[in-house]
Structure 1
Amino acid sequence: MVVVQASRTGSMGSREKSTGWLELEGSDSQKGLRTATLGGVSWATIGRRSVVLWTSVFIPVIIMIVVVAIEKTSSHTNMWFYISLVFLFTYNVMGSGPIDTTLGFVSQPLNQSNFDIQKPYNLPVDQRYNFFGEVHKLWVFKTDKPHSRKSKTNPRTEIRIRGYDYSSGVWQFEAYGYVRSDTTGVCIMQIFGSKPPKASTTMLTVYNSSLYYYRNQVILSDLYNKWFRLNVIHDVEDNNVKVYIDGILKHEGRVRVGPHIHHYFKCGVYSQKEGSFYMESRWKDIRIFRLHD
């Protein structure tokens, strides 16, 4: 599904009314959304087939307009002006900068009851988790117990999102994350649920100041001690996951799943191989979205 949003800017909106035929704008203050204003209308695109839509529909139409304009002018200056205009507009809209990944999605209500804290089973919650000033702080030690007596997994302190398990549709996790510089060998976010014997559809791990998709692809370098916005979109029917950092696509690929698998989102710290003795991550503004039907 592709969602194309058009909104006429005015003096009452977040931007001043556009007076030119084409105006390239900067980043939105909250989402870092880059837009191109054409004839006073701001356009933004999102969706797994946005590139197909642009290459098969919009770009050919724009090129046809340019060709007609070139045929009606003998000025080489005007010709290059029209060509440059097309490339500028297309380059900007097709993702040269950050986009708002939540366009077309519906935000789901969340409160503290949706945050199930999974922590070492022998410790009270407040010894591995606190929530202060809108920030969830989660930490764990490599020598800690697993989250249940029966579990043989590594120690963890994670927020398990309750109330929004899913097995179909397109879902999105959004949050601002922060990782301390003494933290490595840890999973900080995952989409749980996969075809056995695997347990997860997606894992984002930290090793030596870099964020990885599992351990295969670097998604973000130099992530320590700074906030970043994370958006993870899971299209169940297409077996596809996209990972965005600060509105920029960093990973897209097919995922390993089976029929009737139930998924849910988690974030925090979950010790992995070569994990540090102490692991900590912080999260704020956690949101869950579902693609509008």
Structure 2
Amino acid sequence: MDGHADPTHGFTEMPLTKANFELQRPYNVPLEERYSYENGIHKMWVYADDKPHDPNSDTQPRTEIRIRGLDYSSGVWQFEGYGFVPNGTSGVTISQIHGAASGATTLILRIYNGNLRYYDGDLVARDLYDKWFRLNVIHDVDEGKVRVFVNGVQKYSTNDQGPGDLYFNCGVYAAPAHISYYMESRWRDIKIFKK
């Protein structure tokens, strides 16, 4: 961690089991055609012309892990995971905080051409293709702040979108525009913390 303070310091790790990992995928394909789990690594992929996760949804295609059972609406919560995005995957959300006072999400982190961005705007981190990186997202609901750390270094801070029924996701979820045909991310050592 290059001597940086650990963003999980002062937090308590919450118990996670397989039951906390709800997988969402295109509704018309078997899970194993968009997800694998081997040697502790969750691999998720999707194609631009895939169906949404539900036949009644008009959202973009996704294969995501939704952390279930640890929804929150107050306090200070943290997601930690080690992510990997292969070269060529672009225009895709790899991590999010779902829920907000207005709108569907509090935080969207997207990869565009190897760079991590807040939604499709502010640059969070550069040059993340083809390497494992540690992602920590801290949400202080009471203060209305979200902080993003990459490899132990705070890279971004922003106001949240107000309180709501909140939870963490990671995986691949196609952006509304400028997406690659094939999108993939891999995740390992996923943890949730609370202060």
Query: Per the shorter chain, which TM-score range?
Result: over 0.9
How far apart are 1:139 and its partner, in Å? 0.1
Match of 2:149 in 1: 244
Q: TM-score, normalised by structure 2?
A: 0.97
Q: Is 1:274 matched with 2:194? A: no
Give secondary structure in 2 for the equivalent of 1:256: coil
* Contact kept in structure 2, 1:135 and 1:282, CA below 8 Å: yes
Amino acid at match of 1:264: Y
Aligned residues: 194
Match of 2:11 in 1: 105
Q: Is 1:190 matched with 2:96? A: yes
Deviations 1:106-142 (A, max 9, x none): 0011121111000001111111001000000000000
Amino acid at match of 2:85: V
* Contact kept in structure 2, 1:230 and 1:246, CA below 8 Å: yes
Match of 2:118 in 1: 213
Amino acid at match of 1:99: A
Find the aligned partners of 1:227 and 1:119 in 2 and give their Cα distance.
Answer: 23
Question: Cα RMSD between the aligned structures?
Answer: 0.9
Amino acid at match of 1:166: Y
Find the partner of 1:169 among 66, 71, 75: 75
How far apart are 1:33 and its partner, in Å? 6.5
Match of 2:168 in 1: 265
After TM superposition, where is structure 1 displaced by more than 6 Å over at least 4 residues in a row? none
* Contact kept in structure 2, 1:33 and 1:99, CA below 8 Å: no
Match of 1:228 in 2: 133
The structure having more radius of gyration, on CA atoms, is 1
Deviations 1:259-291 (A, max 9, x none): xx1100000000011110000000000000000
Match of 2:46 in 1: 140
Name stretches of at least 5 consecutive residues in structure 2 with no aligned partner: none
Higher relative contact order structure (alpha carbons within 8 Å, sequence separation ≥ 6)? 2
Amino acid at match of 2:65: I
Give secondary structure in 1 for the equivalent of 2:46: strand
Amino acid at match of 2:154: L
Find the aligned partners of 2:57 and 2:5 in 1 and give their Cα distance.
Answer: 40
Deviations 1:70-118 (A, max 9, x none): xxxxxxxxxxxxxxxxxxxxxxxxxxxx220111100011121111000
Deviations 1:137-190 (A, max 9, x none): 000000000000111100000000011000010000000000010100000000
Identity of aligned residues (%): 50
Match of 2:104 in 1: 199
Amino acid at match of 1:267: C
Find the aligned partners of 2:120 and 2:160 in 1 and give their Cα distance.
Answer: 14
Q: Is 1:126 matched with 2:37? A: no
Match of 1:286 in 2: 190
How far apart are 1:218 and its partner, in Å? 1.2
* Contact kept in structure 2, 1:184 and 1:279, CA below 8 Å: yes
Deviations 1:1-58 (A, max 9, x none): xxxxxxxxxxxxxxxxxxxxxxxxxxxxxxx262xxxxxxxxxxxxxxxxxxxxxxxx
Find the aligned partners of 1:246 and 1:138 in 2 and give their Cα distance.
Answer: 22
How far apart are 1:257 and its partner, in Å? 1.5
